[in-house]
Amino acid sequence: MSYAEGAASVSRGERQPVIALIGPTAVGKTALSLDIAERLNARGLPPAEFISVDSRQVYRYMDVGTDKVSAAVRREIPHHLIDIADPDEPFSASAFVEAAARAVRRVAARDRVPVFVGGTPFYYNALFHASMNASLPHDPEVRRRYEELAALEGAQALHKRLAVLDPVTAERLHPNDVRRVSRALEIWELTGTPPSRLYAEGEKLDFGLDVLYIALTRPRAELFQRIAVRLEDEFASGFPEEVSWLIEHGFDERFPPMQGLGYRELAAWRRGRIGLDEALEASVARTRAFCRRQMTWFSKFEPALWYDISVSTGPRLVEEVVDAALSHLEGGARAAGCAGWREAAVS
């Protein structure tokens, strides 16, 4: 049975198997995904197409700081859900879920293999797991920043800010309820969507997908070093100029994408509030903190096959991942010892 025929079977009540390549930022997901695509072609199998699961790569003009694959690579291997919105456009988790489901159907209809690749746990949760409400993201640093703003400018000022962004939620919350107002602003910043709209969407739609996670990890010290090197390269390769261009064209800090890793710090540099070295140092620190949270979130994802790619590398790793993916995609039983892989990876 072709993959397209397998996708069609979903309408008959069966679940369509899909693969997702997950892991923290800078672990090496993109490089491995391209190796997997090359190996599928070498085996004469249906080619892969990738569906990005990255809350920042959906935005146009944000290229260097989001580490998008090059246009040349995208011409060779189609990538979906990249450059589909402007930075001033709201793009919610529900919009991602609907776009991802459409992409799976289109890819499968052409008898290609859709592979999810990315590091935004909230998007994965919204598509495959908990209700939209239960999977709303948390970031203590963001919430603390709003609470500090309330202490500096007053609770009323914080509530007025929420009223501009989400009048429905603001009307429901007392102006002096700093904790809940800060939480609402935290959700808005992390998702780009008013909390009232997210809560109204309620339970996620079930698109009949049966996911197997291929999860990548490295020792924390190695990950942290890779984060620093990546950001140093980005800062030297046009990231500051990219942020300057965005601000000059009106895509400024009012919009959630510009609160992203590195973008907020470089916006502060562009405004003359900090130096470039300070922006780099702060970006590295915040990205490392995000990496820790990613590992906490991803450690709960199941079913997952975990690979420490500081140990397993090269062709052997690619072959193992391709074999596991094919076993799942062909509708066979889940790989035996899946839980053992996970326990070995996180121990």
DSSP labels for 218-279? Answer: --HHHHHHHHHHHHHHHHHTTHHHHHHHHHHTT--TTSGGGGSTTHHHHHHHHTTSS-HHHH
pLDDT digits (tens, 9 = 90+) for 240-255: 999 999 999 999 998 8
Is residue 270's pLDDT more than 90?
Answer: yes
Q: Which of 298, 246, 296 is nearest to 65 (CA)?
A: 246
Instruction: Please tell me the predicted confidence (pLDDT) of residue 333.
Output: 33
Range with lowest mean pLDDT among 80-84, 206-210, 284-288, 329-333: 329-333
Q: Which amino acid does the sequence have at 91?
A: F
105-128 average pLDDT score:
91
Instruction: Please tell me the predicted confidence (pLDDT) of residue 188.
Output: 84
Instruction: Please tell me the predicted confidence (pLDDT) of residue 83.
Output: 97
Q: Spell 285-294 as b/e; 16+ CB within 10 A means b.
A: ebbbebbebb
Structure tokens, 219:
């020792």
pLDDT digits (tens, 9 = 90+) for 291-340: 999 999 999 999 999 999 988 778 888 999 999 999 998 874 343 333 33
Interaxial angle between packed helices 140-153 and 155-165, expressed in degrees from 0 to 180 and rounded to the nearest 10: 120
CATH 3.30.470.20 fits 3-134+207-237+301-346, yes or no: no
> Could you say which of 3.30.1330.10, 3.20.20.140, 1.20.1050.10, 1.10.20.140 is the CATH number of the domain covering 140-201?
1.10.20.140
Handedness of CA 23, 186, 167, 59 (dihedral sign): negative
Handedness of CA 266, 81, 118, 42 (dihedral sign): negative
Instruction: Please tell me the predicted confidence (pLDDT) of residue 313.
Output: 75
Instruction: Please tell me the predicted confidence (pLDDT) of residue 130.
Output: 53
Mean of per-residue pLDDT scores for the chain: 86
Handedness of CA 146, 152, 153, 155 (dihedral sign): positive
pLDDT digits (tens, 9 = 90+) for 148-188: 999 999 999 999 999 988 898 998 888 888 988 999 998 88
- Residue 212 backbone phi and psi in degrees, to 5: -120, 125
pLDDT digits (tens, 9 = 90+) for 190-234: 877 788 877 766 555 567 889 999 999 999 999 999 999 999 999
User: What percentage of residues in the chain have a pLDDT greater than 90?
Assistant: 60
Of these ranges, 2-11, 77-86, 159-168, 253-262, the one predicted with the greatest mean pLDDT is 77-86
Instruction: Please tell me the predicted confidence (pLDDT) of residue 64.
Output: 98
Q: 38 exposed, middle or buried (CB, 10 Å; 0-12, 13-18, 19+)?
A: middle
Instruction: Name the band, by pLDDT with cuts 50, 70 and 90, for residue 84.
Output: very high
0.85 exceeded by the pTM?
no
61-76 average pLDDT score:
95
Is residue 97's pLDDT more than 80?
Answer: yes
DSSP 59: B
* Residue-range domain boundaries for the chain: 3-134+207-237+301-346, 140-201
For residue 316, what is the enclosing H or E element?
helix 314-329
Contact 113, 40 (CB under 8 A): yes
Instruction: Please tell me the predicted confidence (pLDDT) of residue 193.
Output: 76
Instruction: Please tell me the predicted confidence (pLDDT) of residue 78.
Output: 96
CA dihedral in degrees (34, 40, 44, 47; nearest 10)? -70
